[in-house]
Amino acid sequence: MWDEYRLMHKGETTAGFIIDTWEDVEEADSGGVIWYHTAIYTYQLPDGRDFEGELHGEGRLKPEFRYLSQPYPVEVTYLPDNPAASRITKDLPESIPGLLRNQIFPHGFFSVLFLFLGFYVLWGLIREVKHPPENTQPL
């Protein structure tokens, strides 16, 4: 997460190319399948040094990336003080809330819902311990 933050604020961009991609599939607990993909990209710094990066994700690859017949041009953001830290520019969040949403709530609505429900249940338990209900009827 720290590298993504630094890439958003201190990163520089350069031209790069996706040179290889692949997909993998695993069985899900629910009986379906989960697709994962990887893309290998290269980029060159203004001083001529070459670097390579990987992009991992969940889901299918875009159709144009499934069968690369030639390198696919992309824009890469890298850190000048650590050029090995890079991301394909379009995959970087544009703001700190976007970065937090991607890191803390990667599955969107359902992550927020379950987090809210967990806090609600925890708050109820704490309230019950601090202020137990009064017994109005003797046993």
Cα atoms in the Cβ-side hemisphere of radius 13 Å centred on 85: 16
pLDDT digits (tens, 9 = 90+) for 36-71: 888 899 999 999 999 999 988 888 888 877 888 899
Tell me the mean pLDDT in the region 11-29.
Answer: 90
| Right CATH for 2-94 from 2.40.50, 2.40.30, 1.10.3210, 2.40.420 | 2.40.50
Q: Mention every residue, 6+ apart, whose C-beta is less than 8 A from residue 7.
A: 77, 78, 79, 85, 86, 87, 92
Domain ranges (residues) in the chain: 2-94
> What pLDDT band is residue 128 in, cutting at 50, 70 and 90?
confident
User: Is the distance from CB of 19 to CB of 43 less than 8 angstroms?
Assistant: no
14, pLDDT greater than 90: yes
Structure tokens at 27: 């069985």
